[in-house]
Amino acid sequence: MKRGYDIIGLPVICLEESCKKIEIKDILYDKMELRATCLLIQEGGYFREQKVIALQNIKNIGSDAVVIQNKSVIEESPYQDHIQSYQSLIGMEVITYGGQDVGIVQDILFDVNSGRLSGLILSEGLFHDLVEGRSILPLKDNLKLDTNTIIISNSEEKSILSNTGGLKRLFSLE
């Protein structure tokens, strides 16, 4: 599993030839399938196309670099309505059907082999994060991510992994 923020900013290394300075700018995911599809290396604009590396063309995603075979795997990204930036999830509020605030999305977790988004890392505020650590909401296939708020059921709330770090865990205060 990798966190989104761990991948953004990594350099891209080509095995067969030298790549000019290429850096990962974003992770694009399919909001229907909850699956990362490609890594963005160049944002589109008026006079240039958006460039991506499809996840299946990546040899390895390490802690210090993303490795590809050669530059030929870099392709233009056609616009698709259901493909979104993972950064569109950051800052989304997560609440239960009952109206209870669960937290704010701070990051994602995804499987680099399959691309499946496996969880959302939630913040409940700076003090709570320091003391208890951030919570992780495991993603299920029926979760809808196309609004400004993510609404989860009570059973999904019970599946949230809490106390994943923080000062309490560091000093074994529990």
Q: Report d(CA 74, CA 25) in Å as an integer.
A: 14
pLDDT profile of the chain (174 residues), mean per 10: 91 84 91 88 80 92 91 80 84 86 89 89 69 75 70 76 60 57
Return all residues near 173 (Cβ < 8 A) that are at least 6 apart: 167
Q: Report d(CA 81, CA 119) in Å as an integer.
A: 22
Token pair 């999305």 in the structure block, residue: 105
Structure confidence at residue 25 (pLDDT): 94
| Class for the domain spanning 2-85 | mainly beta
Structure confidence at residue 17 (pLDDT): 79
- Sign of dihedral through CA atoms 153, 110, 129, 105? negative
Structure confidence at residue 11 (pLDDT): 93
Specify the pTM. Answer: 0.81
Structure confidence at residue 136 (pLDDT): 84
Q: Measure Cα distances from 58 to 10, 39, 54, 74, 83 in Å.
A: 13, 9, 7, 10, 19
Using alpha carbons, select from 5, 47, 2, 37 the residue that is nearest to residue 24: 5
Structure confidence at residue 166 (pLDDT): 55
Structure confidence at residue 12 (pLDDT): 92
Q: Report d(CA 105, CA 120) in Å as an integer.
A: 6
Q: Where in the chain is the domain with CATH 2.30.30.240?
A: 2-85, 89-169
**Homologous superfamily of 89-169:** PRC-barrel domain (2.30.30.240)
Q: Report d(CA 166, CA 174) in Å as an integer.
A: 11
Question: Is there a contact between 61 and 24 (Cβ–Cβ < 8 Å)?
Answer: no
Structure confidence at residue 149 (pLDDT): 84
